[in-house]
């Protein structure tokens, strides 16, 4: 039996990253929202990615929005996408109002999957590879996870560069 999909039953279509697809809450600031990848019946992220945008858990719980509980209680797994990351067509900081975005897909002709030579996306900060030990299944050993800063610029959007990105405040500022 196939599990139902929130990406298909959500009452609000993915037309913007500034609106929860489950409860309809909208705001000009995307910090109130999180993006989730829908997984298949074996709990693997589906390809191409099926994207769900919902209120971030803290906001949903504080204001008693049913959206977070809908994701948490759903029989299908939803994997949260790290802030500012994603893929072509669903980079929340860049792709929201791009003319080349259709749903969660990028239709830019330079994108390799569209037959182009490649579309340059710039990420903020250095890339880091983090090694860790995974005991979740027998025989598992070291895993490596790549961490990038958020996507801040795309060659497909030459006029949009970090428009929604705010540099985090330092936690321990040094005195001059």
Model confidence pLDDT, tens digit, residues 137-149: 555 555 555 656 7
H or E element that contains 152: strand 151-154
The Cα 176–Cα 162 span in angstroms is 28
Is pTM beyond 0.85 here? no
The Cα 129–Cα 145 span in angstroms is 6
Does residue 123 contact residue 152 with C-beta atoms inside 8 Å? yes
Does residue 88 contact residue 97 with C-beta atoms inside 8 Å? no
Is 143 exposed, middle or buried, given 0-12, 13-18 or 19+ CB atoms closer than 10 A?
Answer: exposed
Would the pLDDT of 96 be above 50?
yes
Model confidence pLDDT, tens digit, residues 120-129: 888 777 665 5
Closest C-alpha to 163, from 103, 111, 92: 92
Dihedral sign computed on CA atoms, order 168, 171, 173, 174: negative
Which position has the higher pLDDT, 59 or 118?
118
Q: Within a 10 A sphere around the Cβ of 88, how many other Cβ atoms?
A: 26
Does residue 140 contact residue 125 with C-beta atoms inside 8 Å? no
Does residue 33 contact residue 78 with C-beta atoms inside 8 Å? no
Does residue 32 contact residue 59 with C-beta atoms inside 8 Å? yes
Q: Is residue 17 helix, strand or coil?
A: coil
Q: Within a 10 A sphere around the Cβ of 60, how many other Cβ atoms?
A: 24
Model confidence pLDDT, tens digit, residues 100-112: 988 888 999 999 9
**How much is the mean pLDDT over the chain?**
79
């Amino acid at each position: 039996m196939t599990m139902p999909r929130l990406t298909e039953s959500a009452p609000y279509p993915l037309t913007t990253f500034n609106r929860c697809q489950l409860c309809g809450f909208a705001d000009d600031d995307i910090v109130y929202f999180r993006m989730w990848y829908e997984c298949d019946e074996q709990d693997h992220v589906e390809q191409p990615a099926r994207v769900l945008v919902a209120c971030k858990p803290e906001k949903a719980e504080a204001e008693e929005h049913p959206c977070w509980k809908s994701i948490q209680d759903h029989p299908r797994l939803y994997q949260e996408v790290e802030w500012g990351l994603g893929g072509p067509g669903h980079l929340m900081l860049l792709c929201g109002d791009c003319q080349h975005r259709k749903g969660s897909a990028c239709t830019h002709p330079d994108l390799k999957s569209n037959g182009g030579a490649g579309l340059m996306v710039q990420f903020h900060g250095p890339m880091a590879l983090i090694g860790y030990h995974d005991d979740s299944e027998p025989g598992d050993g070291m895993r490596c996870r790549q961490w990038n800063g958020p996507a801040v610029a795309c060659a497909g959007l030459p006029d949009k560069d970090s428009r929604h990105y705010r540099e985090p405040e330092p936690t321990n500022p040094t005195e001059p």
